[in-house]
Structure 1
Amino acid sequence: MKFLHSNTILIYLLSFSSLFAQDTIRFSHSFPIKGDFIELDNIGNIYLVKGQKLLSLNIDGKVTYENSNLALGEITSLDASNALKMPVFFRDLSQVVYVDNKIGQIGERVQLDVAGFPLTYLVCTSYNNGLWMYDPFAFELIRLSEQFQIASRTGNLNQILGVPIEPEYMREYNNFLVLALPEEGILIFDRFGTYIKTVPVKGVKRFQIRSDRIYYLEDDGLGYYDLKFSTLGYLNWEVGPHKSFAVWNDVLAVLRENRIDVYHIIER
């Protein structure tokens, strides 16, 4: 009886501890390099932007491709959601150049300024080879089709949401369009630009979306919002000074002043 009783207690404790087990972050390796920001594509390549230069690296830090011939000034952003067709955005000129996973240019540059959007502030990939952009003059999100015709638009978000809109980062994921507003939180829209909700996490200027989770860095850990379950989670971890970060599957890459640190997110 005592043996059975002890086993019962042990099983209960193990079950109880596993119920509250948390994901953890484990350091893997690092390599020296400098840059402005990084992105990870869906096959594990790291893309590093440094001024006007774009580099492709493998997860071990070996430079596989380099492109410094885009000749449109400093690169503002790169969306690596679709590794075969990634928009490289030049905010100063309101122009976009598409590159493949070897960072070679695809087709002609997209002149958003000529198309009537000279103040475009953000862009990101959309479904069916479309492109989302944020127009700060009209305070609206506009989706362009593959032929660069207006397919969807939100209207004035200042009026719709009742708050000033100053977004810093934008990505589309499955049926969602996600926008980071540091002063308000993370805004979620459907794929047509209809507002759904605001996740009340302030101070987020950049995020990454993988496996239905919106990840963002804070001073003392990695936070996330689960799109599937509508829940917030947090992984305590000493982040330290950093310039940028990216997530792919269980890989977390953090760009620091003179190196990239690579970690693994261990799910419990």
Structure 2
Amino acid sequence: MSLTSVSRQQLSKYLNDFLNVKQFKDYAPNGLQVQGRDNIKTIVTGVTACQALIEQAAALNADAIIVHHGFFWKNEPEVITGMKYNRIKALMNHDINLFGYHLPLDAHPTLGNNAELANKLGLVDVEICADISQDLMWQGKLPKPLSVSQMSELLTEKLNKTPLHIGDKEQLISSLAWCTGGAQDYIDHAASLGVDAFISGEVSERTFHCAMEQGIHYFAAGHHATEQFGIQALGEHLAEQFGLTHHFIDIVNPV
């Protein structure tokens, strides 16, 4: 019988086990980042723990926020001032728990960002690239070859964002590799796999030359856009698992 609430401790343990947190060496702590109330009935999920997300979660009287991009990143200032102070103060004033899951959510085999992107695009023969650490890069095929314009249209339709394309516009695309978010520097490995195209979220100046000189298509489909589905799937899973109320809040981000 499903519950209508769960304790903070129960939810934290479940998430850490389900997402296999101990497996990952990450850039920020995964798990509970800011403590709130003990009993959780309503959860809000979102891509990034920004001020707008926190304010909307407070308006919904949420007990917990679960995000992909949380707080306390390596090399950021350690003091709690300015923007970080305002965010944490809002969480504490409203007694809201904040959970953040970065690489564990990218890599989860069934509802992670990479898995969900494959599902949204309808890819087949999907597999994790074994030579990339922490299961962060995947590869697969389109059900049928697409032109560059067709591939761009598919990404635009599914992600609600028009991608930047680099490559020969006359070459068809059949096979793909992808890693959501800021993984443009995996393009060299994607080229070594012999796939036709590589998809990630962001793009750097060097990406253009890597794509053109290695004859691989590159689609920069948006960091936020490529990582919006994993956290939604996680929220839906938790709602079903524990009988919680779940709201996904999409704070628009063009990057």
TM value normalised by structure 2: 0.24
Which structure's residues are more often helix, by fraction? 2
Which structure's residues are more often strand, by fraction? 1
Say which structure, 1 or 2, has more relative contact order (CA 8 Å, 6+ apart): 2
Give 1 or 2 for the bigger CA radius of gyration. Answer: 1
TM value normalised by structure 1: 0.23
